[in-house]
Homo-oligomer: A and B are copies of this chain.
Amino acid sequence: MYPRSIQNLIESFKTFAGIGEKTAERLAFSVLSMEKEQVKNLSDNLIMAKQNIKRCKKCNNLTENEICDICNDKARKHDTLCVVEEPKTVFSIEKLGTYHGDYHVLNGLIASFNNINPEELRIDTLINRIQNSQYKEVIVAVKQCIEGEITALYIKNILSDMNIKVTRIASGIPMGADIEYIDSITLEKAFDNRTTIS
């Protein structure tokens, strides 16, 4: 029904995660109302991003170089290692500007029912890094879910004889949320992990 070029563009947008028919149509029409130069830029930037971005040889984060800017940053404290599921989380934490340690990107979580075993994740390189460094603490910053729980426990276990503190970011009620709408598991965790008012 659409002219072929528009239909092709809509189909391309539909391959994005979480983009359905309606949004793909909206994006395609948005392209048509852009300046030619702007569309050329987007088209080039797509190719460049796919071409240039690779994984950091050290932490497995996204980078344009062999070693990412964070790993290369001499000013950072190399006594703490934050383990995350995917590169996106690195950027979310970096935006806070409060964490200054190293990162390690697993590229997934352990999910035996989906056949994602520890061997498929970057856990071997994690152990390797920890053995060859002076880390005092490993912070596991993964999703609050069964797979996250399993992955955190697995890491805790394999590091148990290494005299290293393994922590997990807190689970609880998000800021501003109404307690009556919070699921029972989160509420239970919030009670269990209650902190002293000082």
Contacts and interface: CB of A to CB of B under 8 A. Distances in A.
Copies in the complex: 2
Contacts of A38: 12, 15
Interface in A63-96: 63-64, 68-69, 87-88, 91, 94-95
B1 A95 contact: yes
A88 to B, nearest CB: 6
A101 to B, nearest CB: 16
Contacts of A68: 3
Contacts of A49: 5-6, 8-9, 28, 31-32, 39
A40 B5 CA distance: 15
A50 B46 contact: no
A64 B5 contact: yes
Contacts of A11: 45
A15 B91 CA distance: 21
A3 B31 CA distance: 25
Interface residues of A, number: 53
Contacts of A36: 50
A72 to B, nearest CB: 12
A64 B9 contact: no
B52 A47 contact: no
A2 B48 CA distance: 14
A110 to B, nearest CB: 20
Q: Which 3 A-B pairs have the closest CB atoms?
A: A12-B42, A5-B49, A5-B52
Given A6-B62, A34-B50, 18 more contacts: A1-B95, A2-B91, A3-B53, A3-B63, A3-B64, A4-B64, A5-B48, A9-B46, A12-B38, A12-B45, A13-B42, A16-B30, A17-B30, A19-B27, A31-B50, A36-B50, A39-B46, A42-B46
